[in-house]
Amino acid sequence: MFKGSWVALVTPFKDNYEVDFDAYGKLIDFHIEQGTNGILPCGCTGEAATLSHEEQKECIRFTVERVAGRIPIIAGTGSNNTMEALDLTRYAKEIGCDGALLITPYYNKPTQAGLIAHYTKIAKEVDIPIVLYNVPSRTGIKLEPDTIAELNKLPNIVCIKEACGSVDQVSQILSLCDITVLSGDDSLTLPMMSIGATGVISVAANIAPADVARMCTLALQGNFSEARKIHYRLMPLFKALFYETNPMPVKAGLARMGMIKNVLRLPLVPMSEPPYKRLEQVLQKLNFI
């Protein structure tokens, strides 16, 4: 199940900063029509850090109801508070999600033993497939390959979203265990897939769902020569979506495409003008606007 292109879905807001569920539903339908393999609501790209837990549950429930079984769903349920992460993960299980993505506990900076204890408690109490999320640039803490291999011994810790920015990290993980690896960096998806990753949880898929899904399908088929063509064509987009902090650029891009309002919750704000103009040029060149 954990393969192909999974979109790290943005959370659209109205001008009053409430969740725009009309736009949310249209985005979900757009992804299904465009061939996205799975949907991830309430991740970092979905601004989960600024959603209340009730809003997070509401977004997860809405996604499950709107998708209606058409493609699988991994809900973002992580927190730096283990009991809060446990509550959200239980909810994802109850509402019918196919998996739960749990970011490493940010700010606390636990040891590797603390990370093992955190994930073990949740995995043992909620029988749902768990996707570890390793993104030290955001959290200040890294899941080491040995730790990942140890956690993979638990039957429902089955996948990891790897956003360390390192193909070597993926090599080390897969040399130690057979956990499923999904790229967490769009620009490294194809290199990671060349050594055994099975797809991506993608920011760029918000803008280019059909292209990212096609690239992953070709790579899974072993057709790397054709996959590379898509990789290199989309590379300017992969880079442009990080001109400023994610999800500021991707929301600006979707707004420019007429799909959402360019509204973020503080402390994030819309892109500043110079990088926005550069993003707009990339979108124009790739014919997204």
**Which residues are known to be catalytic?**
133, 161
d(CA 85, CA 263): 26
Strands (DSSP E) found in the chain: 4-8, 38-40, 74-76, 99-103, 130-134, 157-162, 180-183, 199-202
38: helix, coil or strand?
Answer: strand
The C-alpha atoms of residue 182 and residue 192 are separated, in whole angstroms, by 8
Closest CA to 132 of 190, 173, 187: 173
Of 59, 78, 53, nearest to 10 by C-alpha is 59
Dmax over CA atoms of the chain, in Å, equals: 49
Of 207, 172, 156, 171, give the one whose Cα is nearest residue 186. Answer: 207
Q: Exposed, middle or buried by CB within 10 Å (0-12, 13-18, 19+), for 221?
A: exposed
Place of tokens 């991994």: 74
Q: How far apart are CA 197 and CA 168, in angstroms?
A: 12
